[in-house]
Chains A and B, each alone.
Chain A
Amino acid sequence: MIGDLLNPPRGARPSQQAGPPRSLRLIGVVLAALLALPLLYLLLRAAEMGPSDLAAILLRPRTVDALWNSVRLAAATTLTTTLIAVPAAWLTTRTDLPARRLWLILLVLPLVFPSFVGGYVVVSALGPRGMMQGWLETLFGIQRLPEIYGFPGALLTMTLFTYPYTLLSVRAALQGLDPALEESARSLGLTAWQSFFRLTMPLLRPAIVAGGLLVALYTLSDFGAVSLLQYDALPRVILVQLTASLNRGGAAILSLLLAIVTLIVLIFEARSAARTRYYSVGSGAKRRHSRVALGKWRGIALTFCATVVGWALVMPLAVLLFWLIRGLRAGEPMRALWSLTANSLYASGLAALATTLVALPIAFLVVRYPSLLSRVVGRVAYMGYGLPGIVVALALISFGATYATPLYQTLVMLVFAYVVRFLPQALGTVESALQQLSPRVEDAARSLGYGPLQVLGRVTLPLARNGIASAAALIFLTTMKELPATLFLSPLGFRTLATRIWDTTSEGFFAQGAAPALVLVFFSAFSLLPILVATRER
């Protein structure tokens, strides 16, 4: 295998230098092959186009503009989400902020709004003649707000509904840090602020980068919110090719362009987080972190949290409630949502389980056995995430209907689609959890007579459980709102809250879409509770 050729001879530090166990390598290769299906599909479809078509599509000024717009939006969103997520994670994890846990839930919840709902909400609340303008007109007589459409609106929407990715990632990392490190820093004379910026921040870098990566790729591949805010990004151009003329070849070429951008982002990410050890080597006895007393900063901290929650959670909820009440008053009939809710919870639960199971071996390969193989597997895992959902869905339709007929349109296929689409969300979190765990702890367990599986089950997994639990929670929440794969690959007749929201809002029945959206938020909030319990510091 290639991995063998690249690995130096087995030496003094077996756990890092030796190649991965054969079984792990095999699992990695198989998973990579499965995860690469969308890419393979795109290459096959693109190959059907002649070189002249290729040039015509790629060199069109509009393609270039859209590409630039996509990149610009992704970069800006990554920056703004980091600025929100890092303080939010720190405040809710390390300080004596009043009602910390409640704030944490409220700050993570915006994750559950499907992006097209986010788009509708922002437009109706902040549009030039939206609800906000209505209030301002009564109060100050303001006739018209500045345009929300285009870059500012898209940036605001993407920021509000994606910063929790970085928040969760950073929170897990903060909890995994050995308190001894900060204590030493403080005992060596650093102030709390100095220790945060000179020690904690650098240690958090992998988590910030991992969260930022999720945000950047989510933004690159998003279609719903971005198109509602009239921002001309690449996914919108891809959808135009697909829907206006069923031009699957043209859509494939543009999707490959997006895949290349994803690859560049990944290389960038690898550079920025490269070659540092993020674990401590000492005895590593985990203790409770000391809480930073906010003191006079408490007011500012609360204002910060309240502002973020106000924009990202209260505003959308208010708009949804407004739609619901307006509809109920006008006598709109409301349909029962029980089985939709059951289906949503069920599919999301399976997706969380399956994705976490797939993420574990890959994260192991990537973190513990760096090699060409693990790099390839680790990058391929991100490909499905950086592509618009509809493109991934069409790829799996194409392969599923032809080569996996018995599985086509079953739950197995649907869960597989979720894995392909969302694996990176679990991968990033599990990877940073493993990075914080010294391989020497595993070596020690091995030297005391544990076999590889025992080390995994008794040492590695328990120590990394915060990261693993966060990963499962992320996948659960993201799957709850997933749309394209659910629409196209679910068993016939299998419908979820997200498909109902789409079904109604796309036809202009906003009241009927508001009800399932509110149910979605409600159940997602509950799904956060086990995570908080599982990640409670002892």
Chain B
Amino acid sequence: MRYIIRTALLLTLMLLAVACGQSQNASTSDDSPTVAAEADPEAQPDPEAQPDPEAEGASDEIMGEGGLVIYSGRSETLVGPVIEMFEEESGIDVQVRYGETAEMAATILEEGQNSPADIYYGQDAGALGALANEGRLTVLPTDLLESVEARFRSQEGEWVGVTGRARVVVYNTEALSEADMPASILDFTDPRWAGKLGWAPTNGSFQAFVTALRASLGEEAAREWLEGIQANQPKVYSNNSAIVDAVVSGEIEAGFVNHYYLLRLLKESGGELPAANYYFPTADIGNLINVAGVGILDTARHQEAAEQFVRFLLSEEAQRYFANETDEYPLAAAVPTASDVVPLADIPTPEIDLNKLQDLDGTLELLLELGIL
């Protein structure tokens, strides 16, 4: 008995000792997907720590101390491989913190001037706009901004879109055919959709859509639409994946989501599912294209490396990765869309200034007032 307690104590003391040793170079326990295979961070030195001499020389000049720090509101599953490609090519050591888009933005605001982050990589234009509004993003070089269409970047030049995503209506193909689908998202207020719809009002992409609706058709129209949908008693889900799952299982007939969730589920389940994405035939606000984008923080300590990273995200290699692996729309370097995705050029997209999506406060007020949130 006593032996067990003592052994446990000794073990914990050893752990503590290791902890103290490790906290200085916690970065070596980095777990980017490929490094993950080399299990034990204590037992062997991290191979990433010794890049080839040429690259090291280059990165030393740029980096000074520590690595480039990215706060990513996009998950590691989506962007981890791209960041790894960048590390390999540039020899720059990159550290990433992953979290929800809005929570990452909140973290930067809480950290204030002491934020270790160089780059903020967010899931939607609204959060990027909100950070820019707080004065936390710097103006990017013109050549970076101009590698994407003007509608996919900040007008003040504080952030640039990297990939695009389309709002779509996912529908159950056993319950509905494409002919049953309305010409505009505004028509889903029709009572025939009562009890058959799903939405995710807490989801950032949905809120961005409502903001776009307010910006393009006015407050009254947005309110009427929300009230109309609410009158149809939609099922409330906590995110896009849950909606797609519910459509596939037949729990609901249709739901408002981003285009790639169904594509991912199709890949994961091996191809055949009774669901399809629906795009509106005209330039309806329902076809909103939102972006995931990046900005460089005002407190960035590695300005040059940060610019290099943004340039890499907009390069053909990275854009090709996003097109093929995450099923998003590439926005730069003339990379074509993946074969199973409806090309951006074929979607009649509404004219909307993404910079206006930062007015989330107004959307929140409206959703709260209507009792949706």
Contact = CB atoms under 8 A, between A and B. Distances in A.
Contact of A492 (B76, B95, B251): B95
B270 A329 contact: yes
A245 B367 CA distance: 12
Nearest to A230: B236
B5 interface: yes
A494 B5 contact: no
A402 interface: yes
Contacts of B373: 62, 237, 240, 244
Given A129-B251, A332-B268, A411 B31 contact: no
Nearest to B33: A335
Interface string B188-229: 000000000000001010010000000000000000000000
A494 B202 CA distance: 28
A499 B98 CA distance: 9
A342 B111 CA distance: 29
A330 B272 CA distance: 11
B40 A338 contact: yes
B52 to A, nearest CB: 21
A465 B98 contact: no
Contacts of B77: 503-504, 507, 509, 512
Contact of B40 (A237, A246, A339, A530): A339
B23 A412 contact: yes
Contacts of B204: 243-244
A2 to B, nearest CB: 33
Interface string A294-326: 000000000000000000000000000000001
A339 B251 CA distance: 39
A227 interface: yes
A228 B238 contact: yes
Contacts of B75: 503-504, 506-507
Contact of B110 (A127, A239, A401): A401
A354 to B, nearest CB: 9
Interface in B11-25: 12, 15-16, 18-19, 22-23
Contact of B29 (A130, A394, A491): A491
A52 B87 CA distance: 50
Where chain A touches its partner, the secondary structure class is helix
A338 B95 contact: no
Contacts of A242: 102-103, 106
Contact of B202 (A227, A330, A499, A538): A227
Interface string A383-414: 00000001000100110011001001111100
Interface in A463-506: 465, 487-488, 491-495, 499-500, 503-506
B246 to A, nearest CB: 7
B256 to A, nearest CB: 15
Contacts of A339: 29, 31, 35-36, 38-41
B239 A506 contact: yes
Contacts of A511: 268
B283 interface: no
Nearest to B244: A508
Given A130-B249, A332-B268, A239 B27 contact: no
Given A62-B371, A246-B109, A342-B41, A491 B76 contact: no
B115 interface: yes
A493 B29 CA distance: 7
A463 B4 CA distance: 15
Contacts of A230: 235-238
A330 B267 contact: yes
Nearest to A242: B106
B147 interface: no
Given A243-B102, A491-B26, A408 B114 contact: yes
B103 A243 contact: yes
Contact of A493 (B30, B107, B236, B250): B30
Contacts of B37: 336, 338
Contacts of B32: 493
A455 B326 CA distance: 62
B227 to A, nearest CB: 16
A343 B29 contact: yes
Interface size class of A (residues with CB under 8 A): 35 or more
Contacts of B31: 339-340, 343, 493-495
A228 B107 contact: no
Interface string B38-78: 11110000000000000000000000000101000001111
A534 interface: yes
A350 interface: yes
Interface stretch (B160-168, B312-320, B345-353, B358-366): B358-366
A349 interface: yes
B334 interface: no
Contacts of B4: 530, 533-534
A338 B245 CA distance: 30
B308 interface: no
B270 A350 contact: no
A419 to B, nearest CB: 14
A503 B268 contact: no
B26 A493 contact: yes
Contacts of B115: 401
Contacts of A382: none
A533 B1 CA distance: 9
B100 interface: yes
A503 B76 contact: yes
A469 to B, nearest CB: 9
A492 B76 CA distance: 13
Contacts of A499: 98
A338 B39 contact: yes
Nearest to B32: A493
Contacts of B140: none
A248 interface: yes
A124 B267 contact: no
A343 B30 CA distance: 10
A411 B19 contact: yes
A130 B26 CA distance: 43
A171 to B, nearest CB: 18
Contacts of B15: 346, 349-350, 353
B281 interface: no
A117 to B, nearest CB: 13
B142 interface: no
Contacts of A259: none
A287 interface: no
A394 B268 contact: no
Interface in B301-339: none
A486 B368 CA distance: 31
A60 B370 CA distance: 11
Q: 9 smallest A-B Cβ distances: which pairs?
A: A491-B26, A338-B39, A508-B241, A243-B102, A493-B30, A330-B270, A492-B95, A129-B249, A401-B111
5 contacts: A244-B364, A246-B360, A339-B39, A503-B77, A507-B75
Interface of B: 1, 4-5, 8, 12, 15-16, 18-19, 22-23, 26-27, 29-33, 35-41, 67, 69, 75-78, 95-100, 102-103, 105-107, 109-112, 114-116, 130, 202, 204, 207, 235-242, 244-246, 249-251, 261, 264-265, 267-271, 360-361, 363-364, 367-368, 371, 373
Given A128-B251, A244-B204, 9 more contacts: A123-B245, A246-B109, A246-B360, A346-B18, A408-B116, A487-B98, A491-B27, A493-B96, A510-B268
